[in-house]
Amino acid sequence: MKAEFIALTAPDLMLASLLVLALIGLGARLRLGVSQTLAVAAVRTTVQLLLVGLILEAVFTQARLSWIMLIILVMMTVASWEILARQKRKLKGWWGFGVSAFSLFISSFLITLLALFIVIGADPWYTPQYLIPLLGMLLGNTMNGIALGMDRLVQTAWQQRGVIEQRLMLGQKDSDAIREIARDSMRAGMIPIINAMAAAGVVSLPGMMTGQILAGSPPVEAVKYQILIMFLVTSGTGFAVITVLQLITRRMFDTRERLRFDRLLKEAG
């Protein structure tokens, strides 16, 4: 027996919001200092998702390549800025934005295209029903991996700059002097997606799979799509983190293999 799709109404969402309101009230009563932040986040979530829903409904109806590419450009631009915003030590100028955007492009965007052309076989390839959700999931996870790996690399290298310089003075190449830090940064960037893969189906039901099941898709088909997403997200995150770490480590050193944070950070002193 196939379950029917149950549409949610505004009163249904209002009932769910009462839980958040109760949490806000409890936080205010206990003076935890999170009530205002939580309230703003709840309002932003509601407004942003409603706006996105209206925009996507129009895009799905029209399916124009120009509008879809504009949405992709906005998604990748915001993701690139979010990566930079999460860094404790800010990268200098437009170079940092370019590194983030380039890493997202060669990982999330190209892997999404690969999946659409070869695996899913969407016709046309820019079918918004497939392109936008897939790219969104890849961008979200890849963005987190890049931000974590980049922050760990820059922070650790800055803290251990004396050790790195000593290794350079002893004759090590720049790549060897920072190799251990790069490895730790790679692990930091990959930990979230590795944990998600290890827990999928046992500890948690991933979001896309849950959404498809709630929408009435057969569970086995939902599982197939979720496995595809997990593989795409993992490969995209891995390629992106490797790319951004390679680009940043090259920027840290000049042509004479000297450590130069002034070329990388806004405030290197």
Give the Cα separation of 123 and 156 in Å (integer).
46
Instruction: Say if pTM beats, i.e. exceeds, 0.85.
Output: no
pLDDT at residue 5, rounded to an integer: 64
Beta bridge partners of 259: 253
Show the tokens assigned to 133: 């959700």
d(CA 121, CA 119): 6
For the chain, counts of helices (H) and of strands (E):
11, 0
| Peptide bond between residue 206 and the one before it cis (omega within 30 degrees of 0) | no
Per-residue confidence (pLDDT) for residue 205, from 0 to 100: 63
Please write the tens of the pLDDT for every residue from 184-221: 999 999 998 888 888 776 666 666 666 676 666 777 88
Task: Give the pLDDT confidence score for residue 202 in this predicted structure.
Answer: 67
Q: Quote the radius of gyration of the chain (alpha carbons, Å).
A: 22
Instruction: Give the type of residue at 250.
Output: R
Q: How far is CA 167 from the centre of its chain?
A: 34
Q: Could you identify the residue written with the tokens 């196939």? A: 2
Instruction: Classify the phi-psi angles of 121: left when phi > 0, otherwise alpha if psi is within -120 to 50, otherwise beta.
Output: left
**What are the mean pLDDT values of the chain's consecutive 10-residue runs (269 residues total)?**
68 89 91 88 89 82 83 90 85 83 90 89 84 88 91 91 88 88 92 84 66 71 83 90 90 82 70
Q: Say if residues 153 and 249 touch (Cβ distance below 8 Å).
A: yes
